[in-house]
Structure 1
């Protein structure tokens, strides 16, 4: 009985996606959702990705999102926000890693290497010691990484991270928020590739200013 229910649920999900895409356009409430409150202070064409280094779906979305962003003219304003719930120590630790790399202007370059280390190699980059050791294997400036990791700027960014996630009204990761108005996720549409397709639609529907 349970298997039958699961099969019916899976079928209904597929049918919903197919119906939503039948006219060639993603549909609000199906492939994407409108935020209850528009995020203030963002450009109409800003694309914000709320992600987590130890999330398989965030890993799957990373490369397609990068490739999509590289194809946009004029250049898309791609903002990355580490997903943090204050009571989740690993999320806090990975936010510190992200902001450390961001301070050194390495967050984009090192995104895939971090995902590979965490998701493929099972490394836990959740302490200064493990991060510094990983940085050495990547050929990074270990002293610079150590200084950034313990800096007041990174401390402040990590402390503000949970509120920033809430500001973007995100409850799952990864989530992509377009123009501070609409959000979509792989969980909603079924895959990283489908997420990028919906993102592309939302992005190009935004005003050009």
Structure 2
């Protein structure tokens, strides 16, 4: 009877052990050499490094939105626009303009769609000013924000963080300033948030 009970316990523990060992540094995610401080130590911070013009970011976006719907109270999600090329700067500025105006959540899907579905060229200040006009943002208000101290300061801060993370491409998901998850490390976009959830739990246990 004791042997049977021991075997039953062992059979229950095996799946748990396999799940716990499913991801590790280099398998699912990459550990960041020097962890980057998060804005709220009482929460697990998850940050997506992205670019509106990136087709992979566009493909990941529905998964991001679906995952965010059930975001726990102890998880803080943020977006961080990257500037890895000359053509990326306008989009990073557009993100911060929209964020400062409180409309980023309203334009996000439409901006991705305009770039990747409608194939519109939105890589300039003029083109973006026209795009923002659809959301009751006057051209004058847009241009004031576009080259403002607030936007440029946030761009500098974002660049410093991305360098500290060691990120070299998009999309990339940073978990609590300690781990980098990408389609490459997670073996596909569809598995990214499985790894992210694993890392969130890992941080909770600490």
Same fold by TM-score greater than 0.5: yes
1:208, CA displacement in angstroms? 7.0
Tell me, yes or no, if the aligned pair for 1:177 and 1:184 is still in contact at 8 Å: yes
Give the deviation of 1:152 after TM superposition: 2.0
RMSD: 2.2
Partner of 1:55: 54
- 1:63-105 per-residue CA deviation (whole Å, 9 max, x = no partner) reads 21122122022152111111113xx221112111111111112
Question: SS at the partner of 2:204?
Answer: coil
2:122 matched to which residue of 1?
125
Give the structure 1 partner of residue 176 of structure 2. Answer: 179
User: Is the 8 Å Cα contact of residues 44 and 74 (structure 2) preserved in structure 1?
Assistant: no
Shift of 1:108: 2.6
- Which structure has the larger Rg over C-alpha atoms? 2
Q: Separation in 1 of the partners of 2:157 and 2:82?
A: 11
Task: Show CA shifts across 1:24-52 (max 9, x none).
Answer: 33232111111111112443500011111
CA positional deviation for 1:23: 3.0
Select 1:104's aligned residue among 101, 115, 123. Answer: 101
SS at match of 2:28: coil
Larger proportion of helix: 2
Aligned to 1:142: 138
Find the aligned partners of 1:126 and 1:46 in 2 and give their Cα distance: 30
**Structure 2: gaps (5+ residues):** 1-16
Identify if the C-alpha distance between structure 1 residues 41 and 189 changes in structure 2 by more than 3 Å, giving closer, same or farther: closer
SS of equivalent to 2:161: helix
- The answer for the alignment partner of 2:18 in structure 1 is 23
Distance 2:168 2:156 in 1: 18
User: What is the TM-score with the length of structure 2 in the denominator?
Assistant: 0.80
